[in-house]
Amino acid sequence: MTITPDTPDAPANAEPRALLSQLNWLRVSPDETDTPVYEYPLFSDAHITGEVANGLGPYSFLNAVPVSSGPGIVNAPIVLRAVFYLGEYRPDMSKTDESLYHGGTLVDEIAALASLALGVRIRAGGETRRFEPGKDPFGRPCAWNDEPRPVVRVRRNHLVLPSVTGTHSLDPLKTLKSIPLIDPARYVSLIRACKFYQDALWVAESEPNLAWLMFVSALETAANDVYETNASADERLRDSKPDLATLLEQHGGHQLVTQVADMIAHTFGATKKFIDFTMQFVPDPPPQRPEQDWLCVKWEKKSLKTILNSVYGYRSRSLHAGLPFPAPMFEAPFRFAADTPPSEVPLTGLASHFRGGTWMPKDTPINLHCFHYIARGVLLKWWQSISNDG
């Protein structure tokens, strides 16, 4: 749902067209006391500590302290309490408009932001209690908007994304203070990217190929918000297909590179945009890494760009040719012991044969665990940048 001026000649000081979770914050008035309050469970399989009861405008995150927790044990450790300042809602029904569409509700928007901020699986449930002005001061329990508890399939000792389980504090939710500061159009991009990220976490353990696609789509969504290329066709060819550019150079020189680049420029512009955006916001190396160099990704610009180029190539062929990411990139990261940092690359040896395919080490340069670290770090830094831009 969205709030929008109903006529084309709306006054200059009319509210911006914005998603409801942002508009609700923009409408907060400390003088307004007759406002309804609603509560929603937020489902997760992470162990949650702390709570954020104030400081986030109309939203509070309360800790429900469930007894059981662990990978794959989904309960509702968080209760979202939302004060609604939206008042009457009248959509413009005169034309098709998807500019604010992302497939979810106000509560889904907050849950997606929380998922990225915390780096855990979070999914919004339905309304469970409402407090309405002049009615029961203890609130009215309700179940007419009930949502089923989500399911996540995990292998307890074989987690593809081990970092999203375990204990997580709610303190990073203070990042949500930026909600009213972001340009409304860019806030839509943020929510769409967060929803791809959120969905990736829920399917990663059972359908890792889908998680790969969703992480890449999250980054592409964010890249579309900031990136326009001014590079020439041959520069983009050299960035996105360096082996082809080298081969063309050897057989026909720079002129052949330019001619071929002009012919296929439309096929690799998206690759360069994805790589350039990710490199612009790439996070520092993980704070805890394996001691063995051969278990680590080389955190250097050239190496990371090569990895991102491979990942985007696998994404494209998966979508257009039905060929999944290489099977070793689906696997849980390797550990020498339970208390050692997980590997950042698949364990392939001299080569790997798995599920009908054979791959050399260069074909599988990163595992999903490490790519998740990169994707989340990039999205968080981009989120911060658009918050500062206002």
pLDDT, tens digit, for every residue of 349-389? 888 888 889 999 999 999 999 999 999 999 999 999 999 76
Rounded (5°) CA angle 76-82-85: 160
Residue 59: pLDDT band with limits 50, 70, 90: very high
Specify the long-range contacts of residues 97-105, CB closer than 8 Å, at least 24 apart.
99/17, 99/185, 99/188, 100/2, 100/17, 100/18, 100/19, 100/188, 102/19, 102/188, 102/191, 102/192, 102/195, 103/195, 104/191, 104/195, 105/1, 105/20
Report pLDDT for 266: 59
All structural domains of the chain with their residue ranges: 37-181, 226-377
Angstrom distance (rounded) from CA 94 to CA 96:
7
Q: What is the pLDDT of residue 124?
A: 97
- Strand-pairing partners, residue 167, are 47
The number of CA neighbours under 13 Å toward the Cβ of 14 is 13
User: For residue 104, is pLDDT > 50?
Assistant: yes
Give the predicted TM-score (pTM) of the model.
0.87
pLDDT one-digit tens code per residue, 159-174: 999 999 999 999 999 9
pLDDT (average), residues 14-37: 87
